A and B are shown apart, each in its own frame.
Chain A
Amino acid sequence: MRTDTTPPEREQRRGLALYLGGIAVCVLLIGIGAVWGNVHYTRTLERSRARQAERVRAECAERGALFVARIPGNLPATDPQDDAWDVAPVLEVPLQRQALTMPMLEQASVARVELQALTDGSAIAFRVSWEDPTQDTHVDAGRFADGVALQFPLTRNAAFTMGDRDQLVQILHWTALWQLDVDEHFQDVQDLHPNMWVDLYWFAEGPPWRLPDSFQDPRSLQWLVGYSAGNPLSDFRRRSPIEELVAEGFGTLTVQPRAVATGRGVWSDGRWRVVFSRPLATDDPLDYRFWLGGSGKVSAAVWDGSHGNVGGRKHYSNWVDFEVSP
């Protein structure tokens, strides 16, 4: 490194420093100006957006559509009891018993759901809530869990009856059982039958014979055929209470291997409140795309476990329109 410099060189460099300093000051001034301008611009934009949103909201209310309000940050993506939901616009959606295809639901027990949605500009969250005096969280022989699903059309004319051939729909599905799996631990035989006793499970370490801890030896998994076959329902390592599916008609429901939706459901005071949330858009062509300022269709389905609701034995709604705040 050179340390000795001659005076003329020093002069030259001082000049250069002054010159550069001048540029820096100019850039700074321009920058400050730009920020000011930007802030001003953003504020104007926000004002006009708020005005527009207000207009859309009013229109939605008039047409019976759901307005997806925009909130600054902190989207309650996994909290169905967040204060934000208290002020979010609500659309009441009537349900009917599924009687279009076998197996049918013969007796309706849930009349309607309340639908709400919020966006923070990059993600969207829906909250569905409905009255249900019983909290049905487990499945067993002849026993079923409560659940809810939201459906979105992936093609323009997809039918609300789970789509049709080449008319795909996407479905986000939550169940009370998966919520417990995630909140507590995988709901095992012991959780259903606390007094159960077994002598052994081949190749497993126990007691307490809990999945997955006691079943580390791969040989112990050979009787868990659903799990070995890769059936997502049999995944005792489930991390999300929500699954994403696509369908093109009754009986074609297919789980999407890559899921981005999160959410959570909470039961209190005789009411389920369930949040579904996901980014507005993803790069998966089989994911529904939401647009700021855009509109779309959504429908809901509800299962009431203690009334034998399972699969096609469910309550469903027709398509309802929604509009996302600009």
Chain B
Amino acid sequence: MPERFNWQIGRPMAYPYDGPQPERQVAYVFDTNKCIECQTCTVACKTCWTSGKGQETIFWNNVETKPYGGYPLEWDTRLLDQLGPAEWKGKRLASRTIFEQATGKDSDKQPPFGHRPAVEDYAAPNVGEDDITGLVEKGGHFAGVHPIWMFYLARICNHCDNPACLAACPRRAIYKRVEDGIVLVDQERCRGYQECVRACPYKKVFFNVVSRISEKCIGCFPRVENGEVALCVQSCIGKIRMHGFLTTRGEPREDNPLDYIVRIRRLALPLYPQYGTGPNVYYIPPIHVPTRFLEQLFGPGVEQSRRLYRGLAGDRRLLGCLLLFGATDRMITRFDVQGEVAIGWNDAGEEIARVPITEPSWVRDHYDEKYDAYRHNTT
């Protein structure tokens, strides 16, 4: 099996398909601290792309509540159970990725290592999962730490560097676009074997019972081709998402917001990097959740990321970059923080976003002479 370097696990790894590296890689940053699980993203994606017959239980975008939630049911814990816990030696993964599992007698053990969810696992997203990890005692209050916690995890296809779905397809019906790294299922070529469904650790390829073939998040490629962010990004109420490109050929650029957040500052982390697919949705971990739990999800960078996040107020460039989230419907490929504003430009060099670091605020008098009225502070 050919080998390739996976920077997320700090070492080379076996990957069966020796494809070219894309010219640049579409990527996303999701700030879990800001997500309110309103599911606007889910609905935006579903209305546009998956409201057809056979797509009833298909959600290319879903938002689930951790630690218990998951769609399809137990998508991650089932694989974690089989793989065992990730072991890290510093930033280097010591345990095996899904591509490095031994071929066993059991058909589930053929690499890439995976499992197939059952029909019922797709049937009831979010039902019964919005529970916290314990009961709040009488008189309990927030005292700077959260003994009881939960958080929302918004999930889409990761348009992985080493897609497991692609590697598993015996027909090569899945391909990774060279221009932007978007991973697509060729709808003409797929024969519905569901090998990709089994292989994708994130369970982001779905079987459509009417078309009888597999479908997955298309990364909103028609929008990306027009320089527009994905629908799930554009519609995000919490402005938790940024959509752009990572530099793949050459050094990460300080003025590329994705490079800056992910590669240079390492504020946002990949989800389950131990699987080895090189996922390209990067999460800013929730600051209130125990590190031990988060490290299984996001790898060894959690503490460092949290330190950065807590220190944002004094970190103008990083803060400015985060303020550009949700500031425009177009894809920012270059940014800068100049004085009191963060500015974003697109590929064509047009300014497409300008956001003040500090929102201007006005203090109005208690008594308004013009209207002869008193103002009350209602918050």
Residues of B within 8 A of A (CB): 49-56, 105-107, 110, 116-119, 121-122, 168, 170-172, 187-195, 197, 206-213, 215
Set A103, A204, A253: member contacting B195, Cβ < 8 A:
A103
Q: Do A139 and B107 touch (CB < 8 A)?
A: no
CA distance A236 to B54 in the complex (A): 12
- How far does the Cβ of A136 sit from chain B's closest Cβ, in whole Å? 14
Q: Do B170 and A103 touch (CB < 8 A)?
A: yes
CB nearest to B171 among chain A residues: A251
CB-CB < 8 A to A236: which residues of B? 210
CB-CB < 8 A to A253: which residues of B? 171, 191
- How far does the Cβ of B200 sit from chain A's closest Cβ, in whole Å? 13
Q: Do A234 and B193 touch (CB < 8 A)?
A: no
CB-CB < 8 A to B170: which residues of A? 101-103, 250-251, 311-312
CB-CB < 8 A to A231: which residues of B? 187-190, 211, 213
Q: Do A223 and B168 touch (CB < 8 A)?
A: no
Q: Do B209 and A192 touch (CB < 8 A)?
A: yes
CB-CB < 8 A to A226: which residues of B? 187, 190, 208, 211-213
Set B55, B110, B207, B211: member contacting A140, Cβ < 8 A:
B207
Q: Do B53 and A211 touch (CB < 8 A)?
A: yes
- A224, CB-defined interface residue at 8 Å: yes
Evaluate whether A234 and B197 lie within 8 angstroms (CB atoms) in the complex, with A103-B107, A188-B53 already known: no
Evaluate whether A141 and B52 lie within 8 angstroms (CB atoms) in the complex, with A224-B210, A225-B211, A236-B210 already known: no
Residues of A within 8 A of B (CB): 101-107, 139-143, 177, 188-189, 192, 196, 198, 201-202, 204, 209, 211, 215, 222-231, 233-234, 236, 250-251, 253, 308, 310-313
Q: Do A141 and B55 touch (CB < 8 A)?
A: no
Q: Do B117 and A141 touch (CB < 8 A)?
A: yes
CA distance A251 to B118 in the complex (A): 26
CA distance A5 to B106 in the complex (A): 101
CB-CB < 8 A to A106: which residues of B? 105-107, 110
CA distance A188 to B209 in the complex (A): 8
CA distance A233 to B171 in the complex (A): 15
Q: Do B118 and A142 touch (CB < 8 A)?
A: yes
- How far does the Cβ of A145 sit from chain B's closest Cβ, in whole Å? 10
CB nearest to B50 among chain A residues: A223
CB-CB < 8 A to A223: which residues of B? 49-53, 55
Q: Do B213 and A311 touch (CB < 8 A)?
A: no
8 further contact pairs, Cβ within 8 A, besides A139-B192, A177-B212? A102-B170, A139-B207, A141-B121, A141-B122, A141-B207, A209-B53, A253-B191, A311-B170
- How far does the Cβ of B282 sit from chain A's closest Cβ, in whole Å? 28
CA distance A236 to B53 in the complex (A): 12
Q: Do B210 and A141 touch (CB < 8 A)?
A: no
- How far does the Cβ of A216 sit from chain B's closest Cβ, in whole Å? 13
CB nearest to A143 among chain B residues: B119
CB nearest to A200 among chain B residues: B51
Set B187, B209, B212: member contacting A229, Cβ < 8 A:
B187
Set A140, A201, A202: member contacting B209, Cβ < 8 A:
A140
CB-CB < 8 A to B197: which residues of A? 141-142
Q: Do A102 and B211 touch (CB < 8 A)?
A: no
CB-CB < 8 A to A211: which residues of B? 53, 210
CB-CB < 8 A to A215: which residues of B? 53
CA distance A317 to B107 in the complex (A): 20
CB-CB < 8 A to B54: which residues of A? 189, 224
Q: Do B187 and A141 touch (CB < 8 A)?
A: no
Q: Do B53 and A225 touch (CB < 8 A)?
A: no
CA distance A226 to B187 in the complex (A): 5
- How far does the Cβ of A187 sit from chain B's closest Cβ, in whole Å? 9
- How far does the Cβ of B84 sit from chain A's closest Cβ, in whole Å? 21
- How far does the Cβ of B43 sit from chain A's closest Cβ, in whole Å? 13
CA distance A292 to B56 in the complex (A): 52
Q: Do A189 and B107 touch (CB < 8 A)?
A: no
CB nearest to B208 among chain A residues: A226
CA distance A143 to B53 in the complex (A): 18
CB-CB < 8 A to B194: which residues of A? 141-142, 310
- How far does the Cβ of A143 sit from chain B's closest Cβ, in whole Å? 7
